[in-house]
Amino acid sequence: MTNSFLFYSAERLLTLIDRHEGLSRVSDVVMKAEEELTGHKPEEILANAIDRLRVMKQAKDKGMEVTTSPSGMVKDEAKRMQTMIEDDQMLLSPLMIKANSWALAVMSCSAVMGTIVAAPTAGSSGIIPGCLLALQEDRGLDDETTARGLLTAAGIGMIIAHISTFSAAKAGCQAEVGASSAMAAAAISEVRGMTPQQCIQAASLTLKNMLGLACDPIAGLVEVPCIKRNGMGVSAAMTASDMAYAGITSVVPFDEVVEAMNNVAKNMNSAIRETSMGGLAISETGKKISEKLYTIGSPSVPVEL
């Protein structure tokens, strides 16, 4: 299909932008590919992305109100972080603190069974909205511009899904938080007005530095270490975007970084691939929490840990 806009590699994505006049952003190609796959018009695709953005905002707002999850492992971390935005003793910028807080909030919403957008998974659902929504508020961006960031994230996700996986059971948390952070890095880079090449570089820099990340949830719940790991993913995405903005590049191209994730996954022990049989899940504290939760079953009220 010579005229196809479908792409399953960063190399193909960038080639399409080079060859077609009028395509200047990653999101432009993503919209063309989506139109080709689904038959939806560009305005419908954008409206759908804006709707996802709306759900993300609602999840963030709900998460900011969480005081504790049924397991007791999640408390009011999102709100605590947000109260520190004006504290001049904090090392992070106000924008990064806000993004961190909102990533925690979306994950907190998930922990109390609220509605979220899997981005690309439930266990990594806070990073993309944390980054994009904070940047939107900070820069006064409209929903259409911000939603284009979501489409760019989706484009990076398409590449990862084709070459590798989003499954922590197959590849550990590098495939969830690592993938989501890479998607977020590209998304915020486009929203900032960076080139498609810089967006891909930001994704590469992020993912290659999260290779080997274990998935070791305590008691099998998507709470510890998942929620705070989302907050840390925000920092990785924003740092990588700044590095790409400064002209720093990844020696290894993005497609090869994703291939490397497959290689790392093959060498990962099953104990750190979502089985809760290794890592933090079998720490002394992790085992105590697991035993307590298993004894009482699925609590409808917060558990005192």
Task: Give the Cα separation of 168 and 174 in Å (integer).
Answer: 7
Output Rg (C-alpha) for the chain, integer angstroms.
Answer: 19
Q: How far apart are CA 234 and CA 219, in angstroms?
A: 25
Q: What is the mean pLDDT of the chain?
A: 96
**pLDDT tens digits, residue range 100-122?**
999 999 999 999 999 999 999 99
pLDDT tens per residue, range 49-84? 999 999 999 999 999 999 999 999 999 999 999 999
Query: Does residue 151 register a pLDDT over 80?
Result: yes
pLDDT attached to residue 1:
47
**Stretch 184-193: mean pLDDT:** 98
- DSSP element (H, E) containing 111: helix 94-111
Look at residue 2 in the predicted model and tell me its pLDDT. Answer: 56
pLDDT tens, residue by residue, 228-246: 999 999 999 999 999 999 9
The residue-averaged pLDDT of 11-36 equals: 97
Could you tell me if 274 and 268 are in contact, meaning their C-beta atoms sit under 8 angstroms apart? no
pLDDT of residue 195: 98
Residues 6+ apart with CB under 8 A from 288: none
The answer, yes or no, to whether residue 223 has pLDDT greater than 60, is: yes
- 148, containing H or E segment: helix 143-163
pLDDT > 90: percent of the chain: 95
* Under 8 Å between Cβ of 154 and 184: no
DSSP 217: -
Residue 300 clears pLDDT 70, i.e. is over it? no
Segment holding 145, helix H or strand E = helix 143-163
pLDDT higher than threshold 60 for residue 261: yes
Answer for the pair 217, 71: CB distance below 8 angstroms, yes or no: no
pLDDT at 295 (0 to 100): 85
Q: What six digits make up the tokens of 69?
A: 């999850």
Which pLDDT score, from 0 to 100, does residue 144 have? 98
CA–CA dist 69, 76 (Å, integer): 9
Q: For residue 259, name the pLDDT band (cuts at 50, 70, 90).
A: very high
DSSP result, 126-141: THHHHHHHHHHHHHT-
Distance (Å, rounded) from C-alpha 205 to C-alpha 149? 18
User: What type of residue is 106?
Assistant: V
**Which of these, 174, 196, 180, 179, lies nearest to 263 by C-alpha position?**
174
What is the token pair recorded at 224? 């510890």
